[in-house]
Structure 1
Amino acid sequence: MGRVDETVNKAVNQAVSDLGDYIRTQRNNAQISLRQLAKRAGVSNPYLSQVERGLRKPSAEILQQIAKALRISAEALYVQAGILERREGGPVVDAVLADPDLSERQKQVLLDIYASFRRERDTADEATRQSEE
């Protein structure tokens, strides 16, 4: 049992570290300092620093505040934190979610359209396979 606990702890620690790296990368991409992000997100500098270094796992509410301050999708942070499952679509979905110039509503509309195109293609592929049988 101890070995399983150790493996789980390592996985959780890695996920928290990855989340911190992701937040740091997004902050650097936005060209804002740790202090500026902390102020915009309504958290303390030391706390945000600990999050970025993987020492703390923020709540969903704090992640939402950080996402808003970074002008990125809260969903992207939730996926990184393991709160939500990654949506299908791969790099296209990731790119839309990471685009700081789009509002949350615009991102959702784009993703809905993209998903409908994928469903349409899948339906056409299935019809083709059935007609070939």
Structure 2
Amino acid sequence: MVEQAGQAVGQAVDDIGGYIRSQRESAQVSVRQLARIAGVSNPYLSQIERGLRKPSAEILQQIAKGLRISAEALYVKAGILDEKPASAVTDAVRADPGLTERQKQVLLDIYQSFRRENDYDVVPASDVSSSSSEEHHHGR
């Protein structure tokens, strides 16, 4: 059990490093540029990308800022946060380069509050037929 947990942590570190590297390459940012933005040394960032070091949440946030991606996405990859189900709206907001990270977070907070508010009043269409038949069945 302990070995498996250690392997899972190691896997998360490998995943985050590879993810950061692929995001950096697709953004056409050099290791040197990203290291400067994130406030870390080139060798340290290189070790993160190769899965030899596990970055702190603060370093991940700076890396995310340098790559112009969501810090939450990096936290999920690093195993710091659990992944939330993605929606088209959430993905679109996070991908919008015209918004700051703060603006994106505010929009997503408002969106989620509306969703929570409506969950109490609205039954998703996929659940309507099954809940109706269950109520009918239990009513007998």
Q: Same fold (TM over 0.5)?
A: yes
Secondary structure, aligned partner of 1:123: coil
1:31 and 2:40 aligned: no
Structure 1 contact 19–52 (Cα < 8 Å) conserved = yes
CA root-mean-square deviation: 2.8
Q: Which has the larger radius of gyration?
A: 2
Which consecutive unaligned segments of at least 5 residues does structure 1 have? none
Deviation per CA, 1:2-34, whole angstroms, max 9, x where unpaired? Answer: xx2211111111110110111112111211111
Are residues 109 and 25 of structure 1, via their aligned partners in 2, closer, same or farther at CA, if it must alter by over 3 Å? same
The answer to whether the 8 A contact 1:87-1:93 is kept is no
Higher alpha-carbon deviation: 116-125 or 4-13 = 116-125
Q: Is the 8 A contact 1:15 1:81 kept in 2?
A: yes
With normalisation by structure 2, the TM-score equals 0.75
Q: Residue deviations 1:54-101, cap 9 Å, x none?
A: 111011111111112112222221121111222233565355435444
SS of residue paired to 1:125 = coil
Query: Where do 5+ consecutive residues of structure 2 fail to align?
Result: 136-140
Question: Does the 8 Å contact 1:76/1:97 carry over to 2?
Answer: no
TM-score, with length taken from structure 1: 0.78
68, 86, 89: which one aligns with 1:89: 86
Between 1:56-65 and 1:103-112, the stretch displaced more is 103-112
